[in-house]
Structure 1
Amino acid sequence: MPLLLAACGAKAEVEARPAMWLVEDADTHIYMLGTMHALPAGTDWNRGKIAEVAKSADELMLELSPQQLAQAGMVFQSLAPRDKPLAMDARLPAKALANYRKLEAGTDFGGDKLDDWAVLVLMGQRVAEQAELSSAAGVESGLTASFRAAGKPIAGLESAKAQLTLFETLDPATQRTLLVQAAENADNALKDVSAMAAAWTRGDTQALAKVVNEDVDAAPAARKAIITDRNRRWSGWVKTRLERPGTVLMAVGAGHLVGTDSVPAMLSADGYRVTRVQ
Protein backbone atom coordinates (compact mmCIF):
# COMPACT_ATOMS: atom_id res chain seq x y z
CA MET A 1 0.00 0.00 0.00
CA PRO A 2 2.01 2.93 -1.31
CA LEU A 3 0.53 5.70 0.88
CA LEU A 4 1.57 3.96 4.10
CA LEU A 5 5.26 4.53 3.43
CA ALA A 6 6.55 7.79 2.02
CA ALA A 7 9.47 9.83 3.38
CA CYS A 8 13.11 10.77 2.86
CA GLY A 9 16.38 9.47 4.20
CA ALA A 10 20.04 8.60 3.60
CA LYS A 11 21.77 5.39 4.62
CA ALA A 12 24.89 3.46 3.70
CA GLU A 13 24.42 1.05 0.80
CA VAL A 14 22.81 -2.24 1.80
CA GLU A 15 22.52 -5.24 -0.52
CA ALA A 16 19.04 -6.74 -0.53
CA ARG A 17 17.81 -10.11 -1.80
CA PRO A 18 14.02 -9.90 -1.47
CA ALA A 19 11.89 -12.96 -2.12
CA MET A 20 10.56 -13.58 -5.62
CA TRP A 21 8.44 -16.40 -7.06
CA LEU A 22 7.68 -17.70 -10.54
CA VAL A 23 4.40 -19.18 -11.77
CA GLU A 24 4.55 -20.48 -15.32
CA ASP A 25 3.16 -22.68 -18.02
CA ALA A 26 4.54 -23.65 -21.43
CA ASP A 27 4.58 -20.14 -22.90
CA THR A 28 3.98 -17.72 -20.00
CA HIS A 29 6.23 -16.72 -17.12
CA ILE A 30 4.94 -14.49 -14.31
CA TYR A 31 7.50 -13.44 -11.73
CA MET A 32 6.05 -12.20 -8.43
CA LEU A 33 8.36 -9.87 -6.51
CA GLY A 34 7.53 -8.76 -2.98
CA THR A 35 8.30 -5.06 -2.65
CA MET A 36 8.85 -2.39 -0.04
CA HIS A 37 7.15 0.76 -1.27
CA ALA A 38 9.77 2.88 0.50
CA LEU A 39 13.29 2.01 1.61
CA PRO A 40 16.37 3.60 3.13
CA ALA A 41 18.34 5.44 0.47
CA GLY A 42 21.18 3.26 -0.74
CA THR A 43 19.31 -0.05 -0.55
CA ASP A 44 20.61 -2.06 -3.51
CA TRP A 45 17.86 -4.51 -4.48
CA ASN A 46 18.02 -4.24 -8.29
CA ARG A 47 20.69 -6.81 -9.02
CA GLY A 48 21.10 -10.48 -9.87
CA LYS A 49 17.86 -12.32 -10.59
CA ILE A 50 15.69 -9.22 -10.25
CA ALA A 51 17.75 -7.27 -12.76
CA GLU A 52 17.68 -10.26 -15.11
CA VAL A 53 13.90 -10.60 -14.87
CA ALA A 54 13.31 -6.86 -15.28
CA LYS A 55 15.40 -6.90 -18.44
CA SER A 56 13.62 -9.90 -19.96
CA ALA A 57 10.05 -9.05 -18.92
CA ASP A 58 7.62 -7.76 -21.53
CA GLU A 59 5.58 -5.77 -19.04
CA LEU A 60 5.44 -4.60 -15.42
CA MET A 61 2.36 -5.04 -13.23
CA LEU A 62 2.17 -2.99 -10.02
CA GLU A 63 -0.54 -2.46 -7.41
CA LEU A 64 -1.10 1.01 -8.86
CA SER A 65 -0.02 2.19 -12.28
CA PRO A 66 2.15 5.33 -12.28
CA GLN A 67 -0.89 7.34 -13.40
CA GLN A 68 -3.02 6.02 -10.54
CA LEU A 69 -0.23 6.54 -8.02
CA ALA A 70 -0.05 10.18 -9.08
CA GLN A 71 -3.76 10.55 -8.27
CA ALA A 72 -3.57 8.86 -4.87
CA GLY A 73 -3.00 12.04 -2.87
CA MET A 74 -6.02 13.75 -4.41
CA VAL A 75 -8.17 10.67 -3.83
CA PHE A 76 -7.02 10.53 -0.20
CA GLN A 77 -8.01 14.16 0.32
CA SER A 78 -11.48 13.50 -1.09
CA LEU A 79 -12.17 10.38 1.01
CA ALA A 80 -10.42 11.17 4.30
CA PRO A 81 -12.59 13.91 5.89
CA ARG A 82 -15.24 12.97 8.47
CA ASP A 83 -18.83 14.12 8.08
CA LYS A 84 -18.48 15.73 11.53
CA PRO A 85 -15.21 16.40 13.42
CA LEU A 86 -14.43 14.13 16.37
CA ALA A 87 -11.63 15.00 18.80
CA MET A 88 -8.83 12.47 19.05
CA ASP A 89 -9.12 12.42 22.84
CA ALA A 90 -12.65 11.05 22.35
CA ARG A 91 -11.32 8.22 20.18
CA LEU A 92 -8.21 7.05 22.00
CA PRO A 93 -7.61 5.80 25.55
CA ALA A 94 -4.98 7.59 27.62
CA LYS A 95 -1.87 5.62 26.61
CA ALA A 96 -2.80 5.56 22.95
CA LEU A 97 -3.58 9.28 22.99
CA ALA A 98 -0.24 10.12 24.59
CA ASN A 99 1.62 8.09 21.97
CA TYR A 100 -0.42 9.69 19.20
CA ARG A 101 0.39 13.22 20.46
CA LYS A 102 4.07 12.31 20.61
CA LEU A 103 4.01 10.99 17.05
CA GLU A 104 2.23 14.02 15.61
CA ALA A 105 4.47 16.53 17.43
CA GLY A 106 5.73 19.17 15.00
CA THR A 107 3.24 18.15 12.32
CA ASP A 108 -0.38 18.96 11.55
CA PHE A 109 -2.33 15.74 11.09
CA GLY A 110 -5.65 17.52 11.47
CA GLY A 111 -6.87 14.26 12.93
CA ASP A 112 -10.06 15.63 14.47
CA LYS A 113 -11.45 16.23 10.98
CA LEU A 114 -10.44 12.87 9.51
CA ASP A 115 -11.81 9.34 9.52
CA ASP A 116 -9.97 6.84 11.70
CA TRP A 117 -8.45 5.04 8.70
CA ALA A 118 -7.07 8.31 7.34
CA VAL A 119 -5.40 9.16 10.66
CA LEU A 120 -3.88 5.67 10.57
CA VAL A 121 -2.43 6.36 7.12
CA LEU A 122 -0.89 9.65 8.28
CA MET A 123 0.60 7.93 11.31
CA GLY A 124 2.20 5.37 9.00
CA GLN A 125 3.67 8.12 6.86
CA ARG A 126 5.08 9.79 9.96
CA VAL A 127 6.72 6.57 11.16
CA ALA A 128 8.24 6.06 7.70
CA GLU A 129 9.59 9.60 7.84
CA GLN A 130 11.15 8.99 11.23
CA ALA A 131 12.63 5.72 9.95
CA GLU A 132 14.24 7.66 7.08
CA LEU A 133 12.48 5.68 4.37
CA SER A 134 12.17 7.08 0.87
CA SER A 135 9.53 6.24 -1.71
CA ALA A 136 12.09 7.37 -4.31
CA ALA A 137 14.30 4.50 -3.14
CA GLY A 138 11.37 2.06 -3.13
CA VAL A 139 11.11 -0.86 -5.51
CA GLU A 140 8.15 0.46 -7.51
CA SER A 141 9.91 3.74 -8.21
CA GLY A 142 13.05 1.98 -9.45
CA LEU A 143 11.18 -0.53 -11.61
CA THR A 144 8.97 2.18 -13.08
CA ALA A 145 12.02 4.16 -14.15
CA SER A 146 13.72 1.17 -15.78
CA PHE A 147 10.61 -0.04 -17.63
CA ARG A 148 9.85 3.47 -18.85
CA ALA A 149 13.41 3.86 -20.09
CA ALA A 150 13.03 0.58 -21.99
CA GLY A 151 9.68 1.66 -23.45
CA LYS A 152 7.86 -1.30 -21.91
CA PRO A 153 4.26 -1.12 -20.63
CA ILE A 154 3.43 -0.59 -16.96
CA ALA A 155 -0.03 -1.32 -15.57
CA GLY A 156 -1.76 -1.64 -12.22
CA LEU A 157 -3.97 -4.19 -10.49
CA GLU A 158 -6.09 -1.52 -8.79
CA SER A 159 -7.10 2.11 -9.02
CA ALA A 160 -6.15 4.60 -6.31
CA LYS A 161 -9.82 5.09 -5.47
CA ALA A 162 -10.48 1.37 -5.20
CA GLN A 163 -7.44 0.88 -3.00
CA LEU A 164 -8.30 3.67 -0.55
CA THR A 165 -11.98 2.75 -0.58
CA LEU A 166 -10.96 -0.55 1.00
CA PHE A 167 -10.03 1.47 4.09
CA GLU A 168 -12.89 3.95 3.79
CA THR A 169 -15.49 1.18 3.77
CA LEU A 170 -14.15 -0.76 6.76
CA ASP A 171 -16.79 -0.74 9.48
CA PRO A 172 -16.26 1.94 12.16
CA ALA A 173 -15.42 -0.58 14.90
CA THR A 174 -12.67 -2.15 12.77
CA GLN A 175 -11.24 1.26 11.89
CA ARG A 176 -11.19 2.20 15.57
CA THR A 177 -9.52 -1.08 16.53
CA LEU A 178 -6.75 -0.49 14.01
CA LEU A 179 -6.26 3.12 15.08
CA VAL A 180 -6.13 2.35 18.80
CA GLN A 181 -3.77 -0.56 18.23
CA ALA A 182 -1.42 1.56 16.10
CA ALA A 183 -1.40 4.37 18.64
CA GLU A 184 -0.83 2.04 21.59
CA ASN A 185 2.10 0.44 19.74
CA ALA A 186 3.54 3.70 18.43
CA ASP A 187 6.51 3.42 20.80
CA ASN A 188 7.55 0.24 18.98
CA ALA A 189 6.68 1.42 15.47
CA LEU A 190 10.22 2.30 14.46
CA LYS A 191 11.48 -1.06 15.70
CA ASP A 192 8.72 -2.85 13.78
CA VAL A 193 9.47 -0.97 10.56
CA SER A 194 13.15 -1.78 10.92
CA ALA A 195 12.33 -5.45 11.54
CA MET A 196 10.12 -5.54 8.46
CA ALA A 197 12.77 -3.92 6.27
CA ALA A 198 15.45 -6.26 7.60
CA ALA A 199 13.31 -9.36 6.97
CA TRP A 200 12.53 -8.15 3.45
CA THR A 201 16.20 -7.40 2.76
CA ARG A 202 17.31 -10.92 3.60
CA GLY A 203 14.29 -12.59 1.98
CA ASP A 204 13.05 -14.02 5.29
CA THR A 205 9.41 -14.72 4.46
CA GLN A 206 8.55 -16.24 7.85
CA ALA A 207 9.79 -13.20 9.77
CA LEU A 208 8.07 -10.89 7.32
CA ALA A 209 4.77 -12.73 7.66
CA LYS A 210 5.02 -12.48 11.45
CA VAL A 211 5.43 -8.69 11.36
CA VAL A 212 2.64 -8.24 8.82
CA ASN A 213 0.24 -10.52 10.69
CA GLU A 214 0.78 -8.69 13.97
CA ASP A 215 -0.56 -5.53 12.33
CA VAL A 216 -3.86 -6.95 11.12
CA ASP A 217 -4.71 -10.10 13.04
CA ALA A 218 -6.42 -8.06 15.77
CA ALA A 219 -8.98 -6.95 13.17
CA PRO A 220 -10.19 -9.94 11.09
CA ALA A 221 -12.42 -7.76 8.92
CA ALA A 222 -9.42 -5.62 7.97
CA ARG A 223 -7.33 -8.65 7.17
CA LYS A 224 -10.06 -10.03 4.92
CA ALA A 225 -10.57 -6.76 3.02
CA ILE A 226 -6.99 -5.49 2.82
CA ILE A 227 -5.08 -8.73 2.38
CA THR A 228 -7.05 -11.93 1.78
CA ASP A 229 -9.69 -10.65 -0.65
CA ARG A 230 -7.15 -8.65 -2.64
CA ASN A 231 -4.82 -11.64 -2.83
CA ARG A 232 -7.70 -13.71 -4.19
CA ARG A 233 -8.40 -11.09 -6.88
CA TRP A 234 -4.73 -10.83 -7.77
CA SER A 235 -4.46 -14.62 -7.97
CA GLY A 236 -7.36 -14.50 -10.40
CA TRP A 237 -5.47 -11.96 -12.50
CA VAL A 238 -2.42 -14.26 -12.58
CA LYS A 239 -4.56 -17.19 -13.76
CA THR A 240 -6.09 -15.09 -16.52
CA ARG A 241 -2.73 -13.69 -17.59
CA LEU A 242 -1.33 -17.21 -17.91
CA GLU A 243 -3.71 -17.70 -20.83
CA ARG A 244 -1.59 -15.33 -22.95
CA PRO A 245 2.10 -15.89 -23.76
CA GLY A 246 4.85 -13.61 -22.49
CA THR A 247 6.95 -12.70 -19.48
CA VAL A 248 5.56 -10.45 -16.75
CA LEU A 249 7.11 -8.95 -13.64
CA MET A 250 4.40 -8.50 -11.01
CA ALA A 251 5.71 -6.33 -8.16
CA VAL A 252 3.40 -5.88 -5.16
CA GLY A 253 3.78 -5.25 -1.45
CA ALA A 254 5.75 -8.07 0.16
CA GLY A 255 3.00 -8.73 2.70
CA HIS A 256 0.78 -10.04 -0.09
CA LEU A 257 3.26 -12.75 -1.04
CA VAL A 258 3.87 -14.30 2.39
CA GLY A 259 1.68 -16.32 4.73
CA THR A 260 -1.03 -18.93 4.29
CA ASP A 261 -3.39 -16.60 2.41
CA SER A 262 -0.71 -15.12 0.12
CA VAL A 263 -0.90 -15.02 -3.66
CA PRO A 264 1.70 -17.82 -4.07
CA ALA A 265 -0.10 -19.97 -1.49
CA MET A 266 -3.46 -19.49 -3.20
CA LEU A 267 -2.05 -20.34 -6.60
CA SER A 268 -0.31 -23.43 -5.24
CA ALA A 269 -3.52 -24.57 -3.55
CA ASP A 270 -5.28 -24.30 -6.90
CA GLY A 271 -2.73 -26.58 -8.53
CA TYR A 272 -0.45 -24.07 -10.22
CA ARG A 273 3.29 -24.63 -10.18
CA VAL A 274 4.85 -21.87 -8.09
CA THR A 275 8.60 -21.80 -7.54
CA ARG A 276 10.62 -19.47 -5.36
CA VAL A 277 13.45 -18.16 -7.56
CA GLN A 278 15.04 -15.75 -5.06
Structure 2
Amino acid sequence: MWLVSDDDTQIYMLGAMHALPRGTDWERGKVADAIATADELVMELSPDELAGAGAVFQSLAPRTAPLAMEKRLPPQALAGYRALEARGGDFGGDTLDDWAVMVLMGQRVAQSAELDSSDGVETRLTEQFKDARKPIRGLETAREQLMLFETLDPATQRTLLTRAAENSGNAVKDVGALTAAWGRGDVAALEKVINEDVDAVPAARKAIITDRNRRWTAWVHQRLEQPGTVLMAVGAGHLVGPAGVPAMLEAEGLEVRRVQ
Protein backbone atom coordinates (compact mmCIF):
# COMPACT_ATOMS: atom_id res chain seq x y z
CA MET A 1 0.00 0.00 0.00
CA TRP A 2 1.23 3.47 -0.97
CA LEU A 3 0.25 6.97 0.13
CA VAL A 4 0.15 10.20 -1.84
CA SER A 5 -1.03 13.34 -0.07
CA ASP A 6 -1.10 17.11 0.11
CA ASP A 7 -2.13 19.54 2.84
CA ASP A 8 -5.75 18.39 3.05
CA THR A 9 -5.98 15.11 1.11
CA GLN A 10 -4.66 11.60 1.64
CA ILE A 11 -5.02 8.88 -0.98
CA TYR A 12 -4.02 5.38 0.07
CA MET A 13 -3.39 3.09 -2.91
CA LEU A 14 -3.83 -0.56 -1.96
CA GLY A 15 -2.74 -3.31 -4.32
CA ALA A 16 -5.65 -5.75 -4.27
CA MET A 17 -6.02 -9.42 -5.04
CA HIS A 18 -9.44 -10.00 -6.60
CA ALA A 19 -9.64 -13.54 -5.16
CA LEU A 20 -7.89 -15.11 -2.18
CA PRO A 21 -7.82 -18.37 -0.23
CA ARG A 22 -10.47 -18.56 2.46
CA GLY A 23 -9.35 -17.07 5.75
CA THR A 24 -6.52 -14.91 4.36
CA ASP A 25 -5.73 -12.27 6.99
CA TRP A 26 -4.62 -9.02 5.37
CA GLU A 27 -6.59 -6.29 7.18
CA ARG A 28 -3.93 -5.37 9.71
CA GLY A 29 -1.43 -2.61 10.43
CA LYS A 30 -1.53 0.46 8.21
CA VAL A 31 -4.16 -1.20 5.99
CA ALA A 32 -6.53 -1.39 8.95
CA ASP A 33 -5.78 2.25 9.76
CA ALA A 34 -6.51 3.30 6.18
CA ILE A 35 -9.81 1.40 6.20
CA ALA A 36 -10.82 3.05 9.47
CA THR A 37 -9.85 6.61 8.52
CA ALA A 38 -10.89 6.70 4.85
CA ASP A 39 -13.95 8.75 3.99
CA GLU A 40 -14.62 6.74 0.85
CA LEU A 41 -13.55 3.62 -1.03
CA VAL A 42 -12.65 3.75 -4.72
CA MET A 43 -12.21 0.50 -6.68
CA GLU A 44 -11.91 -0.48 -10.32
CA LEU A 45 -15.66 -1.17 -10.34
CA SER A 46 -18.36 0.03 -7.98
CA PRO A 47 -20.45 -2.70 -6.32
CA ASP A 48 -23.33 -2.06 -8.74
CA GLU A 49 -21.04 -2.31 -11.76
CA LEU A 50 -19.44 -5.47 -10.41
CA ALA A 51 -22.88 -7.01 -9.87
CA GLY A 52 -23.76 -6.32 -13.49
CA ALA A 53 -20.47 -7.46 -14.98
CA GLY A 54 -21.71 -10.99 -15.68
CA ALA A 55 -24.53 -9.73 -17.85
CA VAL A 56 -22.16 -7.43 -19.73
CA PHE A 57 -19.80 -10.36 -20.28
CA GLN A 58 -22.66 -12.46 -21.66
CA SER A 59 -23.56 -9.71 -24.12
CA LEU A 60 -20.02 -9.16 -25.40
CA ALA A 61 -18.50 -12.65 -25.30
CA PRO A 62 -20.30 -14.51 -28.15
CA ARG A 63 -18.67 -14.75 -31.57
CA THR A 64 -20.53 -13.70 -34.68
CA ALA A 65 -20.07 -17.27 -35.94
CA PRO A 66 -18.77 -20.31 -34.01
CA LEU A 67 -15.17 -21.38 -34.54
CA ALA A 68 -13.88 -24.70 -33.17
CA MET A 69 -11.01 -24.50 -30.70
CA GLU A 70 -9.16 -27.05 -32.85
CA LYS A 71 -8.95 -24.36 -35.52
CA ARG A 72 -7.71 -21.70 -33.12
CA LEU A 73 -5.05 -23.42 -31.05
CA PRO A 74 -1.90 -25.37 -31.97
CA PRO A 75 -1.64 -28.92 -30.54
CA GLN A 76 0.18 -28.09 -27.29
CA ALA A 77 -2.13 -25.22 -26.47
CA LEU A 78 -5.20 -27.25 -27.38
CA ALA A 79 -4.08 -30.03 -25.05
CA GLY A 80 -3.70 -27.53 -22.22
CA TYR A 81 -7.09 -26.05 -22.95
CA ARG A 82 -8.78 -29.48 -22.94
CA ALA A 83 -7.05 -30.45 -19.69
CA LEU A 84 -8.29 -27.30 -18.00
CA GLU A 85 -11.76 -27.80 -19.44
CA ALA A 86 -11.81 -31.33 -18.04
CA ARG A 87 -11.43 -30.01 -14.50
CA GLY A 88 -14.82 -28.38 -14.43
CA GLY A 89 -16.79 -28.83 -17.63
CA ASP A 90 -17.14 -27.39 -21.11
CA PHE A 91 -16.31 -23.69 -21.48
CA GLY A 92 -18.48 -23.39 -24.59
CA GLY A 93 -15.40 -21.89 -26.19
CA ASP A 94 -16.38 -22.60 -29.80
CA THR A 95 -19.10 -19.95 -29.56
CA LEU A 96 -17.04 -17.31 -27.72
CA ASP A 97 -14.45 -14.70 -28.63
CA ASP A 98 -10.85 -15.55 -27.81
CA TRP A 99 -10.66 -13.00 -25.00
CA ALA A 100 -13.81 -14.40 -23.37
CA VAL A 101 -12.44 -17.96 -23.43
CA MET A 102 -9.28 -16.68 -21.77
CA VAL A 103 -11.33 -14.99 -19.02
CA LEU A 104 -13.22 -18.22 -18.32
CA MET A 105 -9.95 -20.14 -18.23
CA GLY A 106 -8.62 -17.70 -15.64
CA GLN A 107 -11.69 -18.24 -13.50
CA ARG A 108 -11.21 -22.01 -13.71
CA VAL A 109 -7.58 -21.67 -12.64
CA ALA A 110 -8.63 -19.57 -9.64
CA GLN A 111 -11.15 -22.23 -8.65
CA SER A 112 -8.52 -24.94 -8.97
CA ALA A 113 -6.18 -22.89 -6.79
CA GLU A 114 -8.99 -22.61 -4.21
CA LEU A 115 -9.25 -18.85 -4.58
CA ASP A 116 -12.62 -17.18 -4.20
CA SER A 117 -13.69 -13.65 -5.10
CA SER A 118 -15.93 -13.66 -2.03
CA ASP A 119 -12.70 -13.67 -0.01
CA GLY A 120 -10.99 -11.12 -2.27
CA VAL A 121 -9.90 -7.69 -1.13
CA GLU A 122 -12.65 -5.80 -2.92
CA THR A 123 -15.43 -7.95 -1.46
CA ARG A 124 -14.17 -7.58 2.09
CA LEU A 125 -13.63 -3.84 1.71
CA THR A 126 -17.09 -3.41 0.23
CA GLU A 127 -18.65 -5.13 3.23
CA GLN A 128 -16.75 -2.93 5.68
CA PHE A 129 -17.49 0.36 3.92
CA LYS A 130 -21.15 -0.53 3.50
CA ASP A 131 -21.37 -1.37 7.19
CA ALA A 132 -19.78 1.99 7.98
CA ARG A 133 -22.16 3.70 5.51
CA LYS A 134 -19.24 5.25 3.64
CA PRO A 135 -19.48 5.87 -0.11
CA ILE A 136 -18.00 3.38 -2.59
CA ARG A 137 -17.16 4.49 -6.11
CA GLY A 138 -15.64 2.98 -9.25
CA LEU A 139 -12.99 4.16 -11.69
CA GLU A 140 -14.55 2.29 -14.62
CA THR A 141 -17.78 0.67 -15.72
CA ALA A 142 -18.01 -3.06 -16.35
CA ARG A 143 -18.58 -2.39 -20.04
CA GLU A 144 -15.53 -0.13 -20.27
CA GLN A 145 -13.43 -2.78 -18.56
CA LEU A 146 -14.56 -5.66 -20.76
CA MET A 147 -14.35 -3.57 -23.91
CA LEU A 148 -10.62 -3.31 -23.27
CA PHE A 149 -10.49 -7.00 -24.20
CA GLU A 150 -13.24 -6.95 -26.80
CA THR A 151 -11.45 -4.25 -28.81
CA LEU A 152 -8.03 -5.90 -28.83
CA ASP A 153 -7.09 -6.81 -32.36
CA PRO A 154 -7.76 -10.47 -33.32
CA ALA A 155 -4.07 -11.40 -33.48
CA THR A 156 -3.45 -10.11 -29.96
CA GLN A 157 -6.51 -11.92 -28.63
CA ARG A 158 -5.33 -15.15 -30.23
CA THR A 159 -1.84 -14.72 -28.80
CA LEU A 160 -3.20 -14.21 -25.30
CA LEU A 161 -5.47 -17.23 -25.57
CA THR A 162 -2.70 -19.43 -26.96
CA ARG A 163 -0.24 -18.42 -24.24
CA ALA A 164 -2.84 -18.99 -21.51
CA ALA A 165 -3.64 -22.44 -22.86
CA GLU A 166 0.01 -23.41 -23.28
CA ASN A 167 0.81 -22.33 -19.72
CA SER A 168 -2.32 -23.76 -18.14
CA GLY A 169 -0.44 -26.72 -16.68
CA ASN A 170 1.58 -24.37 -14.47
CA ALA A 171 -1.18 -21.84 -13.91
CA VAL A 172 -2.28 -23.03 -10.48
CA LYS A 173 1.32 -23.00 -9.25
CA ASP A 174 1.85 -19.53 -10.72
CA VAL A 175 -1.29 -18.20 -9.05
CA GLY A 176 -0.08 -19.66 -5.77
CA ALA A 177 3.27 -17.89 -6.19
CA LEU A 178 1.47 -14.64 -6.96
CA THR A 179 -0.74 -14.93 -3.87
CA ALA A 180 2.25 -15.77 -1.68
CA ALA A 181 4.26 -12.79 -3.00
CA TRP A 182 1.32 -10.48 -2.34
CA GLY A 183 0.89 -11.88 1.16
CA ARG A 184 4.46 -11.10 2.13
CA GLY A 185 4.49 -7.72 0.38
CA ASP A 186 7.24 -8.73 -2.05
CA VAL A 187 6.89 -6.04 -4.71
CA ALA A 188 9.77 -7.33 -6.86
CA ALA A 189 8.26 -10.81 -7.01
CA LEU A 190 4.82 -9.37 -7.71
CA GLU A 191 6.17 -7.34 -10.60
CA LYS A 192 7.89 -10.38 -12.06
CA VAL A 193 4.91 -12.74 -11.75
CA ILE A 194 2.26 -10.23 -12.83
CA ASN A 195 4.06 -8.43 -15.61
CA GLU A 196 6.33 -11.06 -17.12
CA ASP A 197 3.57 -12.70 -19.14
CA VAL A 198 1.71 -9.60 -20.31
CA ASP A 199 5.00 -7.90 -21.23
CA ALA A 200 5.34 -10.51 -23.98
CA VAL A 201 2.19 -9.10 -25.65
CA PRO A 202 2.82 -5.33 -25.93
CA ALA A 203 -0.58 -4.41 -27.39
CA ALA A 204 -2.35 -6.11 -24.49
CA ARG A 205 -0.06 -4.52 -21.93
CA LYS A 206 -0.74 -1.07 -23.33
CA ALA A 207 -4.53 -1.46 -23.33
CA ILE A 208 -5.02 -3.45 -20.14
CA ILE A 209 -2.26 -2.07 -17.91
CA THR A 210 -0.40 1.03 -19.06
CA ASP A 211 -3.22 3.14 -20.52
CA ARG A 212 -5.45 2.47 -17.52
CA ASN A 213 -2.62 3.39 -15.15
CA ARG A 214 -2.29 6.70 -16.94
CA ARG A 215 -6.01 7.37 -16.55
CA TRP A 216 -5.92 6.45 -12.87
CA THR A 217 -2.85 8.64 -12.35
CA ALA A 218 -4.82 11.56 -13.81
CA TRP A 219 -7.70 10.67 -11.47
CA VAL A 220 -5.38 10.84 -8.46
CA HIS A 221 -4.22 14.31 -9.51
CA GLN A 222 -7.83 15.47 -9.78
CA ARG A 223 -8.84 13.87 -6.48
CA LEU A 224 -6.01 15.65 -4.66
CA GLU A 225 -7.85 18.90 -5.41
CA GLN A 226 -10.60 17.83 -2.99
CA PRO A 227 -10.06 17.41 0.76
CA GLY A 228 -10.51 14.08 2.52
CA THR A 229 -9.06 10.62 2.90
CA VAL A 230 -9.56 8.01 0.17
CA LEU A 231 -8.75 4.31 0.04
CA MET A 232 -8.13 3.38 -3.60
CA ALA A 233 -8.02 -0.40 -4.07
CA VAL A 234 -7.06 -1.70 -7.52
CA GLY A 235 -5.36 -4.82 -8.83
CA ALA A 236 -1.83 -5.12 -7.42
CA GLY A 237 -0.35 -5.29 -10.92
CA HIS A 238 -1.36 -1.68 -11.49
CA LEU A 239 0.75 -0.41 -8.60
CA VAL A 240 4.10 -2.12 -9.16
CA GLY A 241 6.92 -1.52 -11.62
CA PRO A 242 8.01 1.51 -13.64
CA ALA A 243 4.60 1.79 -15.31
CA GLY A 244 2.64 1.42 -12.08
CA VAL A 245 0.51 4.26 -10.74
CA PRO A 246 2.93 5.17 -7.90
CA ALA A 247 5.85 5.39 -10.34
CA MET A 248 3.81 7.50 -12.76
CA LEU A 249 2.84 9.88 -9.97
CA GLU A 250 6.46 10.19 -8.87
CA ALA A 251 7.51 10.89 -12.46
CA GLU A 252 5.04 13.78 -12.45
CA GLY A 253 6.60 15.31 -9.34
CA LEU A 254 4.41 13.97 -6.53
CA GLU A 255 5.86 12.35 -3.44
CA VAL A 256 4.62 8.78 -3.05
CA ARG A 257 5.47 6.75 0.01
CA ARG A 258 5.02 3.03 0.56
CA VAL A 259 3.33 2.61 3.94
CA GLN A 260 2.82 -1.18 4.11
Shared fold (TM-score, shorter chain, > 0.5):
yes
Q: How big is the shift at 1:200?
A: 0.4
For these two proteins, the number of residue pairs brought into alignment is 259
Match of 2:98 in 1: 116
Q: Structure 2 CA distance, aligned partners of 1:267 and 1:234?
A: 10
| Residue of structure 2 equivalent to 1:159 | 141
Alpha-carbon separation, structure 1, partners of 2:97 and 2:191 = 28
Aligned match of 2:45 in 56, 64, 69?
A: 64
Distance 1:228 1:271 in 2: 19
Separation in 2, partners of 1:110, 1:217: 28
The answer to whether residue 196 in structure 2 is matched with residue 214 in structure 1 is yes
Read off the aligned partner of 1:23 and give its amino acid letter.
V
TM-score by length of 1: 0.92
Match for residue 182 of structure 1 among 155, 164, 173: 164
Which residue identity lines up with residue 96 of structure 1 in the other structure? A
Query: How does 1:48-63 map onto structure 2 within 5 Å?
Result: 48-63=29-44
Equivalent residue in structure 1 for 2:215, among 226, 233, 258: 233
Q: Which residue of 1 aligns with 2:22?
A: 41
Match of 2:58 in 1: 77
Q: CA separation in 2, counterparts of 1:259 and 1:107? A: 37
The C-alpha deviation readout for 1:63-113, integer Å capped at 9, x for no partner, is 000000000000000000000100001000001001100000141200000
SS across alignment from 1:81: coil
The offset of 1:119, in angstroms, is 0.3
Code of the aligned partner of 2:104: L
Give structure 2 stretches of 5+ with no counterpart.
none
Partner of residue 196, structure 1: 178
Partner of 1:132: 114
Read off the aligned partner of 2:119 and give its amino acid letter.
Answer: A
Q: 1:8-31: per-residue Cα shift (whole Å, max 9, x none)?
A: xxxxxxxxxxxx000000110000
Residue 233 of structure 1, CA deviation:
0.1
Q: CA RMSD in A?
A: 0.6
SS of 2:230's equivalent in the other structure is strand
Using the alignment, how far apart are the partners of 1:265 and 1:150 within structure 2?
Answer: 32
C-alpha displacement at 1:237, in angstroms? 0.3
Do residues 99 (structure 1) and 89 (structure 2) align? no
Aligned pair partner of 1:28 in 1, 6, 9: 9
Q: Deviations over 1:111-139 (max 9, x none)?
A: 00000000000000000000000111100
**d(CA) in 2 for partners of 1:136, 1:253:** 15
TM-score of the superposed pair, with normalisation by structure 2: 0.99
Paired letter, 1:233: R
Superposed structure 1 runs of 4+ greater than 3 Å apart: none
2:150 maps to: 168
1:213 positional shift: 1.4
